[in-house]
Amino acid sequence: MTTAPDPDLLARLVDDAQHVVDGAVAALRVRGGVDADQVLAYDLAHAASAVATARASLDYARRGEDEARLSGAFVGLALADLAQRVLGRETRWGVSTDWFSPFSAFVDAQRDPSILASLAETPGPRHLGEDYEMVREVFHRFAEEQVRPHADHVHRENADIPESIIQGLAELGGFGLSIPTAFGGDATGDESEYLAMVVATEELSWGSLGIGGSLITRPEILTRALLTGGTEEQRARWLPRVATATVLAAIAVTEPDYGSDVAGISTSAARTEGGWLISGTKTWCTFAARADVLVVLARTDPDRSRAHRGLSLFLVEKERADGHGFVLTQSASSAGRTGPDGRLEGRPIDTLGYRGMHSYELAFDNWFVPDADLVGGEAGLGRGFYYQMAGFENGRIQTAARAVGVMQAAYEAALAYARERRVFGRPIIEYELTRVKLGTMAAIIQAARQFSLAVARQMGRGEGTTEASMAKAYVCRAAEWVTREAMQIHGGMGYAEEYPVSRYFVDARVLSIFEGADETLALKVVARRLLEE
């Protein structure tokens, strides 16, 4: 076994790397900000996210020899990533040409193939503590026994999520992790609710991203929006039903011409007798057919110059519909009101992965929503963007946890296959290149997990919104590499749907797109907040 690096040394190196990042923030400010140099801003956001991930691994490094070895390997990887981003752009970053000298010897040692190869079969303990280890075991068992048996069928056939999974998850309390106990959930108002959500999400995503980990994302977003801006009546009406999965939600924010640029959306909500008429088109609304309620962000102020200040959030009830497309209608006269009839059409969007949830383009035509379903009531007019963002910030750390779960599944599959598969008379686990790939995976996954847990603790204290975006930015990109290499270790069989590793690969690709596309997240959220701070 190789010698574990000194945790104090790791801390000093991370501090030095942070100084490089801070200097680049100052350089970006001098250059005019994010829009003046998008390439620097993008690389800076990702470098800062990698350094933040490395910092989160420092406490883990002090827990034992294996922990320090994994953390040391990851710090080496993060520093090498930083070097790759700075090389040839030293002037832009505001550093001298010899800036890497303090890191060189350490990175050289930690990137030695023998170091990384020694970690191939050392994923490391998680140190969750007794309570959260119990949460992990419960959701892992559910994922193994209830989710995984359906995952390949749903993926290959683009089928619907079995109701048995939804009801089973409801019985475990999976939909009420962030709902206060007063409304029938399990949240107690401290860091425990965030930690439990992250732990549960990872295990469910280990079972399947499409029919496991993503099931509880939409209820989480709806819950946070209601807790941030909903009236007491709205919380009392909706949250108990969300907690028991009596009501399932979908989020309708993105539009064909406005993805991450939420402030520009054009779907409108016009006042009418007793409520509002919603008209417009939404796209990439995942789970829309099966959902009982759509969380719709719409423009209530026709003055488009007000941008995000003219948006409000609505809870739009609907019937459950066919997963392969639907048309729903409202009769104004049968509802006892005047005005036009309403229509809602959902067109399914086929995707290469992330199946089961199903995504849709939704066309609203004078769809009536009563006043009671304007989130926040009259006080919520023009506040919808902020309520939605409160939900999305929680969704970002949950997405990081989803990425960790997918990576863990891919690593385990690659490790098992490497032990069994023989090439040129030897199991491929015995080859250096295979072991280096697996060891790199192990270091990345554990660091990503520790960062997700650290951010969950911060969010439990009312902090960590920037860090949640950083976690999503780093971890979701890492998941693409891990799942690709896991598939590569399988060789030709990795390209066959017979092995689930091909599903992990295509599922991982969506992680850097939803809940804030990578480029927009890096430029408009992470980089800008670094400049503000």
| Residues paired with residue 328 on neighbouring β-strands, in sequence order | 344
Single out the residue of 134, 133, 151, 222 nearest to residue 185, CA to CA.
Answer: 222
Where does 363-464 have alpha helices with state H? 384-420, 432-460
* Token code pair at residue 460: 């439990």
Pairing label, strands 293-299, 249-252? parallel
CA distance 87 to 315: 49
What is d(CA 7, CA 375) in angstroms, rounded to the nearest whole number?
A: 48
Burial of 102 per CB tally in 10 Å (0-12, 13-18, 19+):
middle
Q: In the numeric block, which tokens belong to residue 138?
A: 């419960």
Is residue 168 within 8 A of residue 244, CB to CB? The reply is no
Cα diameter, the chain: 79
Chain-centroid distance, C-alpha 183: 25
**CA distances from residue 463 to 17, 298, 390 in whole angstroms, order as listed:** 23, 28, 12
Which value, in Å, is the radius of gyration of the alpha carbons in the chain? Answer: 24
Q: How far apart are CA 222 and CA 242, in angstroms?
A: 9
CA distance 310 to 214: 30
Residue 397 CA to residue 159 CA, distance in Å, equals 27
Query: CA dihedral in degrees (360, 361, 364, 369; nearest 10)?
Result: 40
> Please, how many CA atoms are within 13 Å of residue 290, restricted to the half-sphere of its CB?
19
**Catalytic sites, residue numbers:** 515
Distance CA 382, CA 374 (A): 11
DSSP secondary structure string, 102-163?
HHHHHHHHHTSHHHHHTTTT--------HHHHHHHHHHHHHIIIIIHHHHHHHHHHT-PPPH
Q: Which residues are CB-neighbours of 160 under 8 A, at least 6 positions away?
A: 154, 290, 323, 356, 358
Compute the Cα dihedral for 148, 150, 153, 159 and give only its sign.
negative
Handedness of CA 489, 417, 117, 424 (dihedral sign): negative
